[in-house]
Structure 1
Amino acid sequence: MRRRKHFTPYLKAIVIAFFITLLLRLFVVDFYMIPTDSMTPAIEPGDYIMVNKLYKGARFYKQLKFESGKTPETFRIPGYSSIRRNDIVVFNLPTPLFSDQMEMDLSHFYVKRCIGLPGDTLSISNGIYTVNGQTGYGNLREQYLLSHYQGEYLPGTYHTFPFDTTYAWTMRCFGPLFIPATGQTILLDTVNLSLFRRLIYYETHTSLHTRHGKVYLKDSIITRYTFQKNWYFMAGDKIFNSRDSRYIGLIPEDFLIGKAVLVLYSKDPETRQISWKRTLNLIR
């Protein structure tokens, strides 16, 4: 009996600590290990980062029974801010890649820098990002290097979204691309369909097709579409080595998890040694 009483306070402390940790992970912060260099130098391979969920507002699933290949319904509690250009954001990967369809991949996460917000118009001109006619977004040094690059492009990195010969966009010359916001309406035709087909499928779960020069949603001709969600353009800082919105397209708001704010610690991927100079570094 005495032994049980002796351990009871420790057991209570463990249970309380568990629930506090659970609440923090659900509502406040989450943590991710970074395996690639696509966000170098802001985030390095081996970094263990902290993500602020309160910034945008924590996201929750409406049900815990997930169906394979289907995006679960979500809701978000109000945050204290909204995503801004140049914020570094963690989000679910859209799947399948390079398809007219889109669902949320629950097991794969990307971390990228937000370049374009809902309602923006984005272009890449000679390697330089331009948003609503303004520059200064993303990794400016990498953009400068791309604008002056004279060598051969790596296989698979030159041609970009929407992978359509009508546009023939590249990592150096891209857009203009309108980034939809909730409630905004676009005119839709067989030319710009390739830009928005995947987005409309995600919002309606209905495939679009063309016939005799007309766009059809199910059996109805559609000439305009009003978006139901906010969309974002995300890009890696390492422009030559990042699979981002230049290739996977725009990201819907309900895929966003939070803002990356801190490198808790970092381990060298090869030596497994702690990199103390990166420990507790703010992410910018």
Structure 2
Amino acid sequence: MKNQVLNTLKANRGFLVFMASFALLRTAVADWNPIPSGSMRPTLLEGDVVLVNRLAYDLKLPLTDVVLLHLGEPQRGDVVTLSSPAGGARLIKRIVGLPGDRVAVREGQVILNGQPLAYTGAQTHGETLAPGWVVDAVRATEDLAGHPHAVQFLPAVTARRDFAERVVPAGQYFLLGDNRDNSEDSRFIGTVPRENLIGRAHHVLVAADWLGEDGWRLAPRFGRWVTAIR
């Protein structure tokens, strides 16, 4: 039996090396993540698969959060994947506050270091929250300290639209979902330590309609394939 196992390993060593290298690549260099929820609408949609640069900020020991070397600094406006400090779930959010920043939210408007962010181009769309449940969604462009990007508000939904000012601790970041009234972010899970940041999501690789529990609909969104995330 032992010889049989050894022979099998030798016969498939090329494939095994490839799989080990592939696993190392995904855990240390680059990764892709499907978007399962609407917390980043309208920037990211359910059914999008995003590319994540795991070397954007830190070189980590594979399969751990142990940082071996700092490679870059997280910036306001970056869309990042992270391990939630409240339970460890993998999330994707946008960096709004850097270490030392003062962040508050008043009636849905972000106040950064005492200055309210500007919102322009507001338009109302229908948003389906569940089969047969459509509400008005207000989409606008938020100017995040010179980084404009789309955000969405759901006026008809009960949500946390006020957040008392908080100073972001050293080595941590304040993150928000672009779908402000439907996102579990730093208003709920607290600020996020740098070591919990997995990487920066920079492109949508592929996208398709999403049917929730029914799986993937055979309706690719070709217009979103290989598009940069703003």
TM-score (norm 2): 0.71
SS of residue matched to 1:247:
helix
Superposed CA deviations along residues 33-87 of structure 1, whole A, max 9, x for unmatched, are 11111111221101111111110113337xx8xxxxxxxx842132431111110
Amino acid at match of 1:20: S
- The answer as to 2:216 corresponding to 1:275 is no
Higher helix share: 1
1:123 counterpart (104, 113, 132) = 104
- Could you tell me how far 1:10 is from its partner in structure 2? 8.8
Amino acid at match of 2:68: I
Superposed CA deviations along residues 76-100 of structure 1, whole A, max 9, x for unmatched, are 13243111111001111233xxxxx
Amino acid at match of 2:34: M
The structure number with the bigger radius of gyration is 1
SS of residue matched to 1:77:
strand
Q: CA RMSD in A?
A: 2.9
Aligned ranges 1:36-75 → 2 under 5 Å: 36-60=37-61, 74-75=65-66
- Could you tell me how far 1:9 is from its partner in structure 2? 11
1:94 counterpart (82, 85, 107) = 85
Moved more, 84-93 or 132-141: 132-141
2:204 counterpart (257, 263, 266) = 263
SS of residue matched to 1:18:
helix
Aligned ranges 1:73-222 → 2 under 5 Å: 74-95=65-86, 104-105=87-88, 108-134=89-115, 135=117, 136-137=143-144, 142=151, 154-155=157-158, 157-158=159-160, 171=161, 173-181=162-170
Unpaired runs of 5+ in structure 1? 1-7, 65-72, 96-103, 159-170, 182-229
What residue in structure 2 maps to residue 186 of structure 1?
none
What residue in structure 2 maps to residue 233 of structure 1?
174
What residue in structure 1 maps to residue 19 of structure 2?
18
Unpaired runs of 5+ in structure 2? 1-8, 118-142, 212-216
What residue in structure 2 maps to residue 35 of structure 1?
36
SS of residue matched to 1:261:
strand
Higher strand share: 2
Sort the Cα spacing of 1:248 and 1:9 in 2 relative to 1 into closer, same or farther, 3 A. closer
